[in-house]
Amino acid sequence: MPNWTIRNSSFSFSLQALVHISSSIKLSGMLNWLYFYGFKMSEGAGTWCLIESDPGVFSELIREFGVSGLQVEELWSLDADQFERLKPVHGLIFLFKWIGPSSAEEVKGSVVQDSRLEKIFFAKQVIQNACATQAIISILMNCEDSAMELGPVLGDFKEFTKSFDPAMKGLALSNQDVIRSVHNSFSRQNVFEFDQKSASKDDDVYHFVTYIPIDGRLYELDGLKDGPIDHGVIPEGRDWTEAVRPVLQDRINKYSEGEIHFNLLAVISDRKGMYERQLNDLEARGVQTAEVLRLRELIEEEQVKRNRYRLENVRRKHNYLPLIVQFLKELASHNQLLPLLEKAKEKERLRAEQKKAAKS
């Protein structure tokens, strides 16, 4: 994934272009929006942290953005029954190891450059590490499920950027303070500042893309591409996930044998809310059947899962360094630190020798 940054000079130019981008928006109103959304000519888009590809993380991102009615679940395979149990699926987020321009990165389908861009929310990725949030927002902005409520933050942002081209949408997204703050809430709090470096050719770099149905067609939204990728018509009467499965399988097959660095997340309807509505309907009709008990169990399972996600996210954000430092101090005070260090060095030496012997 290219290490794209926004220089102050280019950002200043883009800001001037943004002011004049649409004659339908008055200058004073535009400047008020720019102030509201936190555009700062001197500071650029700020820093975005790396976040983990995990359903608990993405579900919390959705809630913190102010969106209701959706959640995220992980898929472990491309088998039909995996998708069936999660229906309705509103979008997919695919994580893969980015290996630069190659045959594996050649995507089938055509790049959309016509009037469909007026209907599809597509933003270019203009800043490093933002692809995870950009992937989930691509689904939220294009989802038409009646049970979903976009909320004021993303709703206002969608309205604000509807006349922007993909590059300007990407710039606006990267500089939206609330979105960036929610994203960066998953960064670990450290007592040290580490220098940011560009990824070298030996580093593993990962990227997120989105797959979503829009108006009966399957689209791939990748912020590193020039526009949405049209993968064709979804056959009438068939679920869109039947069309996306071979597309994903074909993409995975292009990578070298043994490559397992993939992750697939599904954005689905809020299960707890869906079960509660079904239960309320049955109870309102005075129905007392095994289905009522089943729904109550499912609601309880969803609540337990949410509690687990919440605890895991707290742990992700927690700074464990003070605990580790204190633990090392205690070991040193009992004269156990240096012996353990020497033992660890010896284990590492033996491991290196075994690895070297295995290669020879």
Instruction: Note whether residue 3 is domain-resident.
Output: no
Q: Pick the catalytic residue: 131, 143, 183, 231?
A: 131
Task: For residues 176 and 62, state if they share a domain.
Answer: yes
Task: For residues 45 and 171, state if they share a domain.
Answer: yes
Element holding 93 (H helix, E strand): strand 89-98
Question: What is the pLDDT, as a whole number, of residue 258?
Answer: 57
Instruction: Note whether residue 56 is domain-resident.
Output: yes
The tens digit of pLDDT for each residue in 66-106 reads: 999 999 999 999 999 999 999 999 999 999 887 766 544 56
Question: What is the pLDDT, as a whole number, of residue 43?
Answer: 42
The pLDDT of residue 19 is above 70: no
The tens digit of pLDDT for each residue in 169-226 reads: 999 999 999 999 999 988 866 545 444 555 555 556 788 999 999 999 999 999 999 9
Question: With contact defined as beta carbons under 8 Å apart, do 277 and 302 qualify?
Answer: no
What letter would DSSP give residue 105? G
Instruction: Note whether residue 346 is domain-resident.
Output: yes
* Torsion angles phi and psi, residue 77, rounded to 5: -160, 175
Told to judge if 143 belongs to the known catalytic residues of this protein, a careful annotator would answer no
Instruction: Note whether residue 1 is domain-resident.
Output: no
Instruction: Note whether residue 263 is domain-resident.
Output: yes
Instruction: Note whether residue 229 is domain-resident.
Output: yes
Task: For residues 299 and 338, state if they share a domain.
Answer: no
Q: How many domains does the chain have?
A: 3
Task: For residues 70 and 135, state if they share a domain.
Answer: yes
Task: For residues 258 and 292, state if they share a domain.
Answer: no
Task: For residues 28 and 84, state if they share a domain.
Answer: yes
The tokens describing 197, both together, are 């470096």
Task: For residues 130 and 98, state if they share a domain.
Answer: yes
Told to judge if 131 belongs to the known catalytic residues of this protein, a careful annotator would answer yes
Task: For residues 237 and 298, state if they share a domain.
Answer: no
Domain containing residue 175: CATH number:
3.40.532.10
* Torsion angles phi and psi, residue 92, rounded to 5: -125, 140
Question: With contact defined as beta carbons under 8 Å apart, do 92 and 244 qualify?
Answer: yes
Specify the range with the lowest mean pLDDT, choosing from 180-194, 253-267, 270-284. Answer: 180-194
Task: For residues 257 and 335, state if they share a domain.
Answer: no
Task: For residues 66 and 88, state if they share a domain.
Answer: yes
Instruction: Note whether residue 193 is domain-resident.
Output: yes
C-alpha to C-alpha distances, 79 to 6, 241, 318, nearest whole angstrom: 41, 10, 36
The pLDDT of residue 167 is above 80: yes
Instruction: Note whether residue 130 is domain-resident.
Output: yes
Question: With contact defined as beta carbons under 8 Å apart, do 177 and 107 qualify?
Answer: no
Question: What is the pLDDT, as a whole number, of residue 14?
Answer: 38
Element holding 231 (H helix, E strand): strand 229-233
Q: Considering the chain, what is the average pLDDT of its residues?
A: 82
> Distance between CA 167 and CA 10 in Å, rounded?
13
Whole domain around residue 333: which residue ranges? Answer: 321-359
Q: What global pTM score does this model have?
A: 0.76
> Distance between CA 56 and CA 312 in Å, rounded?
8
Q: Pick the catalytic residue: 90, 183, 207, 231?
A: 207
Question: What is the pLDDT, as a whole number, of residue 12?
Answer: 33
Question: With contact defined as beta carbons under 8 Å apart, do 189 and 317 qualify?
Answer: yes
Task: For residues 190 and 84, state if they share a domain.
Answer: yes
The tokens describing 83, both together, are 């998708």
Task: For residues 191 and 278, state if they share a domain.
Answer: no
Contacts 24+ apart (CB under 8 A), 183-186: 183/48, 183/49, 183/51, 183/61, 183/130, 183/132, 183/133, 184/47, 184/48, 184/49, 185/64, 185/317, 186/49, 186/51, 186/52, 186/57, 186/313, 186/316, 186/317
